[in-house]
Amino acid sequence: MSDALTLLQQRHSAPSRQLGTPAPDAATLRALLEASIRVPDHGKLEPFRLIELRGDDKLRFGERLTERAIRRDPHLPESKREKERMRYTFAPLVIVVVARLNAEAGIPEIEQKLCAGNVAYNILLGAYALGFGAQWLTGWAAYDPEVAQLLGLASNECVIGFVHLGTPQAEIPDRDRPVLNTLLSQWKAPA
């Protein structure tokens, strides 16, 4: 079997809380991201962009999310407030994958979002291939208009996911995977 298929068969996400230093260095990250943006792109729209969260800015981002979470639910328990505050601090690097939707292009919005989703998946796959760990998370913050504003998103943009990157700090057991025979069928022309 080819190395590429073996990579696909072994890839798994590493929980963000179990990701530590190091993250990819600048040259490795650039190469990873350049490879990750090579995705199917109907219409060559480039309907995506990336935002890096690093260092103390990850904590500041979490603090702003906590403020927003409290506005959404003033009775939010202290434990959940702390969880929101710390959510982006475990992995040394978080890449926000953003979809940039072009309504005038004539390309369905779902295809543009899938294109951006492929960028997020390529980051996961590429990180694993390079020996790093990664996890693609969304959560309420990915869909909240105030968080979009905090990230500086335009009205035609939305968060596809927060990809946490770093080095796994523990062995990550694989999870149960789908069984192909339960998912694959063959279409036959009606008689």
Tens of pLDDT, residue by residue over 30-77, are 999 999 999 999 999 999 999 999 999 999 999 999 999 999 999 999
C-alpha to C-alpha distance for 48 and 38, rounded to whole angstroms:
11
| CA dihedral for 147, 153, 154, 156, sign (positive or negative) | negative
What is the pLDDT, as a whole number, of residue 173?
86
Whether 165 maps to a domain, the answer reads yes
Whether 189 maps to a domain, the answer reads no
C-alpha to C-alpha distance for 68 and 58, rounded to whole angstroms:
15
Whether 2 maps to a domain, the answer reads no
Whether 135 maps to a domain, the answer reads yes
Helix-then-strand count for the chain, H and E: 6, 5
- Burial per residue of 99-136, b for 16 or more beta-carbon CB atoms within 10 angstroms, e otherwise: bbbeeeeebeeeebbbbbbbbbbbbbbbbbbeebbbbb
pLDDT digits (tens, 9 = 90+) for 81-114: 999 999 999 999 999 999 999 999 999 999 999 9
Whether 61 maps to a domain, the answer reads yes
Instruction: Report the CATH number at residue 63.
Output: 3.40.109.10
Task: Specify the number of domains making up the chain.
Answer: 1
**Treating both helix axes as pointing N-terminal to C-terminal, what angle do 78-86 and 55-72 enclose, rounded to 10 degrees?**
150
Does position 1 have pLDDT exceeding 80, yes or no? no
Residues in CB range of 54: below 8 A, 6 or more apart: 92, 93, 94
Whether 56 maps to a domain, the answer reads yes
Cβ–Cβ under 8 Å, residues 7 and 153: no
Whether 124 maps to a domain, the answer reads yes
Question: Which tokens sit at 125?
Answer: 């796959």
Position 191, amino acid: A
83: DSSP letter: H
| Domain limits for position 98 | 11-182
